[in-house]
């Protein structure tokens, strides 16, 4: 299947500063892709090249199977990191304007705005001016604006920034629904917990370079199952100095353990069962956050 977006050895610099350095990845249809990285890693610069705001200095951006052209943009929805709405216009007028620019007729735009407003529970706000809205509310409006023209590629820069948990959940549901409908979604974030529950695959970038990419499952497997949590009764002191254990947080009846590379968690369980009454023993996937910190910190060394 043709990937929706393909970045091939893309490089972009501003003045003397290289924002994106030899970056390649692809996003298939019906796929949620997470672009991760610390602040200033080059996420926004990467995104801007996918939505035609800037072009790469070298390398190639392909979109819907063809080299990038502005004609493809009517199939792309973009939610920028910062809110971009006319403050003195009403929500409805803002959305109609953006819908018209994206190629919709006024009637179609209004119809879709109505449907989205009901779905995201903001129908009462349509006739209000944007300046009366909270930041989170503006974020939802912007979200709708990006989706009005039913794009096949949806690019969102930090879509959940500033949203409360209820609204975050609402928008996540929308994104999952769009994936089911066959849309490709790329979003950038520095919040790992959001990615774990939503993304099919990720690309972690740091200083413009790809540090880690692939499907979420592969990445976690590749980084080893080295984390164990034990709830126990008894004397847990034997865990200190155990040859299997790399590091330990012991809370008396709960211990969080990181195993040494190559150590078998089953062996630890057997050892523990001999000395303790084990209430719960769980082998954990490393959290993405952990991988992220390891990789970024590793790059610093």
Partner 1 sequence: MTELSIHKVWIIAKREYLERVGTRSFLLSTFATPVFMGLLLIAPAMISASTARGIVSEGAGAARIVIACDNRALAELARGELIRHAGARYQPSVVSPASAGERERLDKLLDAGGIDGYVWLDAAARASRHVVFATALIGDFILQRRLGDALSYAFAADSMVKQGASAADVAATLEPVDLRAVRAGRPSSLYNAMRGAAVVLVLMFVMFFSLLSYGVMVMRSVMEEKHARISEVLLCAASAQELMTGKILGTGSVGLTQIAAWFAMAAFGASRSPYLRAAMTALDVGPSLIVYFVVFYILGYLLYSAIFASVGAIFNSIDEAQQWNFVVILPLIAASAMILPVATAPDSPLSLAVSIFPFCSPILMFERLAVHPPPLWQIALSLVLLVAAIGAAMLICGRIYRTGVLMYGKRPTIRELSRWLRHA
The token duo for 40 is 């200033």
Smallest gap from Cβ 25 to partner 1, in A, equals 20
Query: 227: number of CA atoms within 13 Å, CB side?
Result: 12
Stretch of 17-25, 26-34, 82-90, 279-287 lying at the interface with partner 1 (CB under 8 A): 82-90
**Strand order, beta sheet including 201-206:** 76-79, 153-157, 184-189, 31-36, 201-206, 209-215
Smallest gap from Cβ 146 to partner 1, in A, equals 8
Q: 141-161: string of b/e by CB count within 10 Å (b at 16+)? A: bbbbbbbbbebbbbbbbbbbb
Residue 136 makes contact with partner 1 by CB under 8 A:
no
- Nearest residue to 5 (alpha-carbon basis) of 103, 80, 75: 75
Residue 100 makes contact with partner 1 by CB under 8 A:
yes
Cβ atoms < 10 Å from Cβ of 270: 10
Nearer to partner 1, 70 or 237 (CB): 70
Residue 76 makes contact with partner 1 by CB under 8 A:
yes
The rounded distance, in Å, linking the Cα atoms of 25 and 265 is: 34
Stretch of 3-11, 19-27, 86-94, 211-219 lying at the interface with partner 1 (CB under 8 A): 86-94
Phi-psi region of 248 (alpha: psi -120 to 50; beta: other; left: phi over 0): beta
Residue 54 makes contact with partner 1 by CB under 8 A:
yes
Cβ atoms < 10 Å from Cβ of 139: 21
Among 15, 252, 261, 262, which residue sits at the site for partner 1 (rule: CB under 8 A)? 15
Residues 6+ apart with CB under 8 A from 237: none
Q: Give the dihedral sign, CA 89/91/93/96.
A: positive
Among 32, 36, 63, 85, which residue sits at the site for partner 1 (rule: CB under 8 A)? 85
The token duo for 92 is 């409805």
Residue 129 makes contact with partner 1 by CB under 8 A:
no
Residue 80 makes contact with partner 1 by CB under 8 A:
yes
Stretch of 46-54, 121-129, 190-198, 229-237 lying at the interface with partner 1 (CB under 8 A): 46-54
Residue 83 makes contact with partner 1 by CB under 8 A:
yes
Residue 104 makes contact with partner 1 by CB under 8 A:
no
Among 19, 35, 145, 163, which residue sits at the site for partner 1 (rule: CB under 8 A)? 145
Residue 89 makes contact with partner 1 by CB under 8 A:
yes
Residue 68 makes contact with partner 1 by CB under 8 A:
no
**Binding to partner 1 in span 154-213, by CB under 8 A:** none
Stretch of 58-66, 99-107, 179-187, 206-214 lying at the interface with partner 1 (CB under 8 A): 99-107
């Amino acid at each position: 299947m043709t990937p929706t977006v393909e970045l091939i050895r893309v490089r972009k610099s501003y003045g003397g500063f290289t924002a994106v350095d030899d970056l390649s990845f692809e996003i298939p249809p019906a796929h949620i892709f997470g672009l991760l990285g610390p602040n200033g890693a080059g996420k926004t610069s990467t995104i801007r090249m996918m939505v035609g705001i800037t072009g790469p200095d070298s390398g190639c951006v392909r979109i819907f199977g063809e080299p990038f052209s502005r004609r493809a943009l009517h199939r792309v929805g973009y939610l920028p990191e910062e809110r971009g709405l006319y403050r003195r216009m009403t929500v409805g007028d803002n959305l109609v304007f953006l819908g018209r620019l994206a190629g919709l007729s006024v009637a179609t735009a209004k119809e879709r705005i109505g449907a989205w407003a009901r779905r995201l529970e903001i129908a009462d706000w349509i006739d209000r001016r944007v300046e009366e809205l909270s930041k989170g509310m503006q974020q939802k409006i912007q979200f709708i604006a990006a989706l009005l023209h039913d794009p096949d590629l949806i690019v969102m820069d930090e879509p959940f920034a500033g949203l409360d948990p209820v609204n975050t959940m609402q928008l996540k549901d929308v994104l999952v629904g769009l994936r089911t409908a066959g849309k490709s979604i790329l979003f950038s974030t520095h919040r790992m917990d959001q990615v774990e529950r939503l993304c099919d695959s990720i690309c972690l970038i740091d200083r413009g370079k790809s540090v880690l990419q692939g499907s979420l499952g592969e990445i976690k497997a590749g980084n080893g199952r080295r984390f164990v949590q034990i709830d126990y009764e008894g004397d847990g002191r034997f865990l200190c100095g155990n040859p299997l254990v790399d590091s330990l947080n012991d809370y008396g009846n709960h211990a969080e353990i990181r195993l040494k590379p190559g150590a078998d968690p089953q062996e630890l369980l057997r050892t523990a069962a001999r000395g303790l009454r084990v209430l719960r023993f769980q082998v954990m996937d490393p959290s993405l956050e952990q991988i992220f910190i390891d990789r970024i910190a590793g790059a610093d060394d």
